[in-house]
Amino acid sequence: MRTALTLLATASTLLLIAGCSGDPTVTDDSEPRDQANETVTDEAVNDAPTDGASIAHITSCDQVEAVVSRYIEGLVPADDNGVDEWGVHCLWETAEGETDLANIRVVSVSLTPVEPGSEKPDTSMIENVEGGSVVEAEWITQHDGIAFSLDLGSAVAGATTTTVWVPTVEAIIGGGSWANMPALDGPAAAEVVRQLLKA
């Protein structure tokens, strides 16, 4: 949660709107019910396809680490990494006593559920900021989402914060580029999120 709040300072403010549900189906209890048919109907409802972008399957930062392993080489996990009712919060940082400049960095992954009915973020603000850009990815478009990054730093080393928003999940990836390490830039962050959400 702390990581998400820190990184959200660079993102646009989200407007929440109330969601509406459809009218319930009215049934006539006076007519006999077909138990077998009712069972099939219940199973069909339970197996109905959803948006597909979910964090329900993520139970620890070990699963996240498997996806970002190439970006966190030489780093150590933070003590308060974990998954709770607010979402997934994982961070890898410089080890104590580290002297290699390539490992003086931080990588963070935050995944939080989106409130039903939340409005898609407006990227106009981030597009007008130096270092800000919209991240294009087919899977994000297919999920009616949006992604944007903010780059800070130089050609040698820099920090990048990428937000990927879909109607069910908001992901904030903190990364960047360091020496010869793989760059965790906007497109790379979007791919990390895709793999984590299995989207």
What domains does the chain contain, in order, with CATH numbers? 2-12+55-197 (3.40.1000)
Spatial separation of the C-alpha atoms in residues 154 and 149, rounded to whole Å: 15
Q: Are 120 and 165 in contact (CB under 8 A)?
A: yes
Average pLDDT, the chain: 78
CB 195 within 8 A of CB 58: no
Structure tokens at 138: 């087919």
pLDDT at 185: 95
Residue 28 has what DSSP assignment? Answer: -
In tens, the pLDDT along 57-69 reads: 999 999 999 999 9
Q: What CA–CA distance (Å, rounded) separates 43 from 39?
A: 6
pLDDT, tens only, 67-119: 999 999 999 999 999 999 999 999 999 999 998 887 889 999 999 999 999 99
